[in-house]
Every structure is written in C-alpha cells, then in structure tokens.
Amino acid sequence: MRRGVARAQPVLEHRVRASDEADLLIHGARLLTLAPLRREAPRTGPVASELGVVEDGWVAARDGVIVATGRGTTWQRLELSAGTVERSVQGRVAMPGFVDAHTHLCYAGERWDEFTTRKSGADYLSVLERGGGIHSTVRATREAADETLLALVRRRLAGAMAQGTTTIEVKSGYGLEPDEELRQLRLIARLRDEAAIDIAPTYLAAHALPGRYVEDRKGFLREIEQALQVVAAERLAEAVDAFVEKGVFEADEVRPFFTAARKLGLALTAHVDQLNDVGGAAWAARLGARSADHVANASADGLRALAKAGTVAVLLPGSAFFVGYTPPEARRFITARVPVAIATDHNPGTSPLEGMPSAIAMAAVLCGLTPQEAIVAATVNAAHALGRGDRTGALVEGRRADIVVLDTDDERDLAYRLGAPLVREVYASGRRVAERPDA
Ligand code: NIG
Ligand code: FE
C-alpha cells in the first residue's frame, strides 16, 4: 500500500487517441510526471516539491519520444507495434531519468593520496596552491592517451547510467592549456556522438592557472578567450565554466572571457562561493549565467540576484561531504525562490559520486531539501540548468522518453535509503539502457 502522500498533487491525464502508437509502454506505475504546472520553468518556492503523481499510471513512447501518459487501463486503447516493449511494474515508481547537471567525468588518475592527507587535516585550497589537487589530475590526464581517456569516461558514463542518469553534463577542465582542453573537448564530442544518453559538454576553461602563467595571468585569460573561437566553430561545448574562488580566479578577471563566450552563443555556468563568499552568485546572475554551482557560501544578496535572474543554483552536496566543508543550506534557496538543482559534481578531487540517488540522499540529509524537492532538483530543475527544460526532466507528451523505474513504491526511498540499489530499469530516448539482473 502507498505510504502517505503529503498532499493532493495535480494530475494531468492525456486523452488516448486512436492514432497513438507506441513501441514502449510502462504501466501499473506510481508515475511521477513532474509535468509543468503552468509554463515551462524551473520550480521554485512552494511548488518546488510538486511531483505530479499519477497512481496506477502509465507512460507510452514511440521512436524515443513520449506519446501519452494516463491512468489505469486506458493504455489498452493504444495501438502497439509488433515489437513493443511492455512492462507492468506493479506499483513501483516510474519517473523521469535523472539529469546530472555538473560533472568532471573527463580525467585520468585517482587522488587517493590527497584524500588521505586531507582527511588527516590538510586543506583543499592549500593542496592546490602547492601544485597538487587539480594540478595532479591535470598531469595524469595530459599523459593519458585518447583511447585510455575515452575508456575511462565510457566506464564512468556506464556507471552513471546504471544509476538512472539519462542526461549528463561533462566538463573539460583538466587540460588547462587550451590545446589540451580542446583535445579533451573533442574526446567528449566523440562520446556525445556514441553515447546512449544525452551529454552536454562544457568548456571549463578557468579551473586553475597553469604553472607557466603564474607571472602572466592576463596572458592565460587571453589564450582561453582565443580558444573560444575554435570551441564555437567546432561546436565543442554548449557552455563555459570557471572556478571563481579565493586564490584561484577572481570574478573581475573572468568577466571578459564570459562576456566573449556569451557573444558566441555559449551559455554560462560557474563554480562560485564554494569555499568562500566571493560574491560569485550575484556576479554569475548579473552576467545572465544559466546556473551558479556550489554556492554553499553565497550571501543573501547573491540569493536575491539568482532569484531575480532565474539562474539555477546547482547544489553539490557530494563535495561538501567528501571535503568536509559546511554544505549549502537548501532552505535559504527555497525560501528566496531560487530554482534549485542538484548534481554529483563527479570528480577525483572533491566528489567521487557517480550516481544521482546518492546526490539526492545527500541533498536531503546534508542540505535539508525534502525528498520531493530533491527529486525536482534532480530532474526538471536540473534539465533547466542544462537548457533542456523543454526536452527532458518530465514525463510529458513530446519529451524524450527518459524514464527510470525504481525498486520501490515510494520515491522518498531515494532520499532515505542511502546507498540502496533502487534503480531497476533505465530508458534513454525510449531505449532500455540498463536493467538490474533480477528485474
Ligand atoms: O567542483 N572546485 C573546483 N572544481 C571541482 C574540483 C576539482 C578537483 O579538485 O579536481 C569541484 O569541486
Ligand atoms: Fe565541479
């Protein structure tokens, strides 16, 4: 039996038309549609917890796109094609595939030593200052041959997918020197072409200052600005990113790079106010950034600016957990009506998380999102953070059939049963891409 639904949820029911043909049908589900309430927009404030639940619901797709959703046995009026995949999921939760809006999947080498030193007291930014941290991953990644790097990223993508991720952002950022960044972006582009899930590539140009530019910061910033021409011409990235932090890059010095990127049609996203309040949230919002990420130390002014601009705050509880700094307080963001998304921030330094279910549980336990808010933050709001708010993140006619079936009849388990293998079946664009052997 269902265990307590907090309050009545809006139900959108599609009228099945005789012409509706399907090649994928999932029925008998507790369906979380996350259907738009009024207009296509990230959810904020009081509606940031609306999941659009349909009990005994179904969803049907054809050629990778959702054609209809409904309740009960109305799916019987659908026309099914010969090879239709039909699943009766017996009360289990079916929901949109997760959108992981912030990852650094493209790297070689792990940072076990640094992890160990930090756990015995060393500070993240001082390790970086001494040429370790990001720089050590840069060395390992530069040394990795294309095929080696591709194999590593493929394995991580498969891990994310098995845990329900159907859309994922992948940043460069472990090249630093533009030529090496371009190599990594070209490899990410190859993966984007072959992957079963949707990859959103980001040029993380200003992640750390390469050693040889220590006396010439301006020179480095000029170089990355020049690289934008190639990035745009070869369509290697949808967005650009920078690490704006004390002792790393200052907002003012990154501004010309961001402005140039925006002129070329690239979206903006930034690592801001992660360890210190550097006014990064307000800065990103004013530049029209699509998202401001980390924001654990963002000021009240910063939050107001994000809300006003509609910039999505991407909370990354995994890095707060692994590094051990104070996590972002989600309630401040929800109360200020800032759109909130969550992501794994998968990277070898601050967050080795691969799957969104762990990020959801951590967002609830560490940041104080309700389980429902965390689910919104991992689906529809995260889709907006990647400029895909009208393509995925909800089970609605016309969207990509990105669907996850959980091994539970209560979605709150995602936040509650940390580490439990809850993801049972995963469909990306209507194709089954992962399934637990016992499903
Ligand atoms: O999101 N803070 C900047 N970038 C990453 C960590 C990168 C690293 O330590 O390798 C982050 O936490
Ligand atoms: Fe990050």
- Give pLDDT tens digits for 55-67: 999 999 999 999 9
The number of the ligand nearest the C-alpha atom of 137 reads: 1
Q: Which residues have CB under 6 Å of ligand 1?
A: 104, 133-134, 137, 243, 271, 274, 319, 345, 347-350
Distance CA 159, CA 272 (A): 27
Name 395's Cβ contacts closer than 8 Å, sequence gap at least 6. 31, 32, 33, 34, 35, 59, 66, 69, 94, 95, 96, 403
Distance CA 254, CA 153 (A): 28
pLDDT-derived band at 36, boundaries 50, 70, 90: confident
Domains annotated for the chain, with CATH where assigned, are: 21-96+394-435 (2.30.40.10), 99-385 (3.20.20.140)
The number of the ligand nearest the C-alpha atom of 242 reads: 1
- Give pLDDT tens digits for 337-395: 999 999 999 999 999 999 999 999 999 999 999 999 999 999 999 999 999 999 999 99
Structure tokens at 221: 């910033």
Residue pair 271/328 in contact (Cβ under 8 Å)? The answer is: no
- Report the amino acid identity of residue 103: T
User: Residues, the chain, total?
Assistant: 439
Distance 56 CA to ligand 2 centre (A): 39
For the CA of 128, the closest atom of ligand 1 is 9
- Report the amino acid identity of residue 208: A
Q: Residue 325: is its pLDDT beyond 50?
A: yes
Mean pLDDT of 195-203: 98
Residue pair 381/339 in contact (Cβ under 8 Å)? The answer is: yes
Q: Residue 69: is its pLDDT beyond 50?
A: yes
Q: Indicate the pairing of strand 165-171 with strand 198-206.
A: parallel
Mean pLDDT of the chain: 94
Mean pLDDT of 110-136: 92
Distance CA 278, CA 272 (A): 7
